[in-house]
A and B are shown apart, each in its own frame.
Chain A
Amino acid sequence: MKDMLTTPLLSVRDLRVSFGRGEREVRAVRGVSFDVGEAETVALVGESGSGKSVTALSALRLLPYPNAWHPSGAIRFAGEDVLTASALRMRAMRGDRMAIVFQEPLTSLNPLHSIGRQITEVLFVHKKMSAAKARARVVELLHLVGLGEAEARMGDLPHTFSGGQQQRVMIAIALANEPDLLIADEPTTALDVTIQAQILALLKDLQARMRMALLLITHDLGIVRKMAERVCVMTEGLIVEQGRVADVFARPQHPYTRRLLEAEPKGRPEPGPAAAAELLRAHDSRVWFPIKRGLLKRTVGHVKAVDGISLRLKAGHTLGVVGESGSGKSTLGRALLRLTPSRGSIVFADRELQGLSWGEIRPLRRRMQIVFQDPYGSLSPRMTIGRIIGEGLEIHRQGSRDEQRLRVAEVLREVGLDPEVHDRYPHEFSGGQRQRIAIARALVLKPDFIVLDEPTSALDMSVQAQIVELLRDLQRAHGLAYLFISHDLKVIRALAHDVLVMQAGKAVEQGPAEEIFERPRDPYTRTLMAAAFEMQLKAG
């Protein structure tokens, strides 16, 4: 074994991390041990709350001490004890020999300082470089992370860069002093798929060139497969399994690992009813937001969020809408329900929706519903589950109070929750359970059509798969038509009969799912596919 021959660069032994003391102690990490060798990539994989980020932050001693503390454990970095080192010593190590890249690039960069200045800062702090030398080094670094064209933009503020470019800047800062260890905490989670692939390729390339160790924290098994040599699977503060990536993926030992591996959305949608009637038809749908300038607020142009999209959806079928952030896919979903004003005809169940007043459209609202992405924001925190779900019945005056209660219980059972939860509040539920509640709210009125706006992307992997399964069952049982909006091609693949690929408000490609996934014609579609499925192909 490798670690027996050489002393590992980073060695963590029986590390425990707790927040608070006494009664209120929360044991976030409960005794983990692992090593990261020189120039090695180790992935810490686990779902949210598993303690993986806390473990990684301990290595830099960046936890909110003294609220956070270590009941036991030792961390040795290049032979030095991290947990007992002086604050001065730690400062010297951080950013110089160990560096970190966080998930959210926009909040990790100071919005008031130019990117050039932020990269130079680490050079001044650790290397006491002269201004001219530092500038040369910054240019070199920007080239290194693939931001060559940004040389002229060194004086620009972070917000003028895109998310992917910001993450590149973050990586440049982390790499400025050629650290021995780079900790990447979900470095691509906040980015679009195509950018994600680029950033991962960049990290891998830089790691090979600079011979640095990489501790990668992620929830995405695809990334682990593509990037890591060894993997540690974490759940509830413990490492339940570790080993070489190929071994762990091929022969998972621990039940949790097996569950995690099975959790990736799989399968294909069942063919929808052949003789289904057309339920929804939109023609040349457009949502333009005016850009107003000047004293008199003259309209000088438009942001074309949705620009001439036509689509048809049959009862019992799913239309998947794919696109990266800002492509207008969520706006399209809202426009179809007339929650956002739009132009272009929308025919739902043989009735033209455009031009109907709020009162006229109200009876139709019963038949079309929406489920949102964020299960935390989509349920009113001050209402009980029963009231949240029953609100639709109340608004549409369906049945007596007792009948409503029965119907709510029925729907709760249908989405796999105990009807007993009727009088409880949203904060008592996990993300997956909340998403089930949101689905129950949409279902309670027995709609024909549901817009699902990224219903799985805020959820953990294993929960995601369950929700996909639930949606598929519900579709079969009730003949529901879905408009499924997502950036995740795997989920779309598992659910959609037809696919619409959106870019900058326009449909670049649309057609039956099989055809698009097997033979994508548009180059953009091909890039998307490559970014999403390539990792699997390489490892598989």
Chain B
Amino acid sequence: MNAAPDRFLGFAITPLTRRRIEAFKANRRGVWSLAIFLVLFVVSLFAEVVANDRPILVWYDGGLYAPFLRAYPETTFGGQFPTEADYGDPEVRRLIGAKGWMLTPPIPYSYRTVAWDLPVPAPSPPDAQHWLGTDDQARDVLARTIYGFRLSVLFGFTLTIVSAVVGVAAGAVQGYFGGWIDLAFQRFMEVWSSVPTLYVLIILTSIVEPTFWWLLGILLLFSWMGFVGVVRAEFLRARNFDYVRAARALGASDPVIIVRHVLPNAVVATMTFLPFILAGSVTALTGLDFLGIGLPPGSPSLGELLAQGKANLQAPWLGITGFVVIALILSLLIFIGEAVRDAFDPRKAIAASPPTPGMSAGIVEPAHQPPRPAE
């Protein structure tokens, strides 16, 4: 009970949050998974620097260039063509090497770089140039995996966050106001949830070319409903709590009560299964790509890699890579999810905190603090 607020990573936190952090930390597997996932995610965020066919920096003739940010014509480096320089071309390499140097990324291929100089027909097996081999269009599998990982995870994050916001808002309105609003909304959702998502997508792909945002929008139309049930239940329960009544007696308006008093409870319920929804969203995109109704051809996607693996059974590195990466993402997310769930589980959170008498004795006499002589 110190006066100075407890801090975590520089933020002032409540004792409750502190207890949750401790409970999360107590799950070793979850902590490790979070660490590994964060490293992979941050690396993939800088995919342009890690795997790219353009160098990061070029020093040429007293000038500094950053080709991974800007396109320079070959003439800049004394070449002949006014088109963009191909830094993999031995001639360009020779020109730059004569008057300076260039810093290439560790993997000198982008997700769409086609390797023309393969010794065997594509797909080529792993070797020193292509650590995980190439796919059937002679593109580096490792580079595609890194970009694909980023795309899948970002897609999953965006889909989860947006559908959580929509779902929580819808559930809040239904649960808090109840009555006819609730009834009408529930019936609408029953109808809406019976619309077959896959068919809608297939019909859509025959009309427009689906982009990242198109797919996100279509999946969002249906995915928000997953959150409504739990949030609605939480609001139905909480709207009759005494502290909500007390706020009403103080004259607080409905929006204030929803946001300040009831929503925090619902957010906890949402948080506990957010990681699992996230894992689901990641696989949603992969599944669509695998079926060929996902992102446009050429996009780096784990689903497409799996489809290639299926089509090229003689090149097992394609299928194995896809499988390992997806299994890794999902396992990490599930482990993190378990740790988050533990952290928000009130019983576990209490068990992880230093004991106060009466709390554990609460097994027998729940919800009573020990009497304090000072009272």
Cβ-defined contact, A395 with B243, below 8 A: no
A24 CB contacts on chain B under 8 angstroms: 351, 354-355, 360
Interface string of B175-203 (1 = CB under 8 A from A): 00000000000000000000000000000
Cβ-defined contact, A463 with B361, below 8 A: no
Select from chain B the residue with minimum beta-carbon distance to A47.
B371
Chain B nearest CB, measured from A474 CB (Å): 17
B358 CB contacts on chain A under 8 angstroms: 26, 49
A-B contact pairs, 7 of them (CB 8 A): A63-B364, A67-B363, A358-B253, A377-B242, A384-B14, A391-B252, A431-B369
In the bound assembly, the distance between CA atoms of A54 and B242 in angstroms comes to 30
Of A48, A366, A428, which is within 8 A of B371 by CB?
A: A48
Given contacts A428-B1, A432-B372, 9 further A-B contacts (CB under 8 A): A54-B364, A339-B249, A365-B249, A373-B242, A378-B241, A383-B260, A383-B261, A391-B252, A463-B375
Select from chain B the residue with minimum beta-carbon distance to A28.
B361
A61 interface contact, C-beta 8 A: no
Chain B nearest CB, measured from A357 CB (Å): 12
Q: Report the contact-size class of chain B (Cβ under 8 Å from the partner).
A: 35 or more
B3 interface contact, C-beta 8 A: yes
Select from chain A the residue with minimum beta-carbon distance to B247.
A391
B359 CB contacts on chain A under 8 angstroms: 26
B261 CB contacts on chain A under 8 angstroms: 380, 383
Chain B nearest CB, measured from A405 CB (Å): 15
A521 interface contact, C-beta 8 A: no
Chain B nearest CB, measured from A21 CB (Å): 11
Q: Which among A170-178, A270-278, A418-426, A500-508 touches the partner chain?
A: A418-426
Cβ-defined contact, B367 with A376, below 8 A: yes
Of B14, B246, B365, B375, which is within 8 A of A378 by CB?
A: B246
A238 interface contact, C-beta 8 A: no
Of B246, B351, B355, B372, which is within 8 A of A25 by CB?
A: B355
Q: Which residues of B come within 8 Å of A, CB atoms? A: 1, 3, 5, 14-16, 241-243, 245-253, 256, 260-261, 264-265, 351, 354-355, 357-361, 363-365, 367-372, 375
In the bound assembly, the distance between CA atoms of A369 and B16 in angstroms comes to 29
In the bound assembly, the distance between CA atoms of A25 and B249 in angstroms comes to 42
A381 interface contact, C-beta 8 A: yes
A314-345: which have CB < 8 Å to B?
Answer: 334, 337, 339
Q: Which residues of A come within 8 Å of B, CB atoms? A: 19-20, 23-28, 47-51, 53-54, 57, 63-64, 67-68, 235-236, 334, 337, 339, 358, 361-362, 365-366, 368-370, 372-374, 376-384, 388, 391-392, 395-396, 420, 423-425, 427-433, 438, 441, 445, 460, 462-463, 466
A-B pairs, top 9 by smallest CB distance, nearest first, are: A365-B251, A378-B242, A49-B370, A48-B368, A372-B242, A382-B264, A26-B360, A392-B250, A19-B360
Cβ-defined contact, B375 with A438, below 8 A: no
In the bound assembly, the distance between CA atoms of A236 and B372 in angstroms comes to 10
Cβ-defined contact, A378 with B251, below 8 A: no
Of A20, A236, A366, which is within 8 A of B355 by CB?
A: A20
Select from chain B the residue with minimum beta-carbon distance to A49.
B370
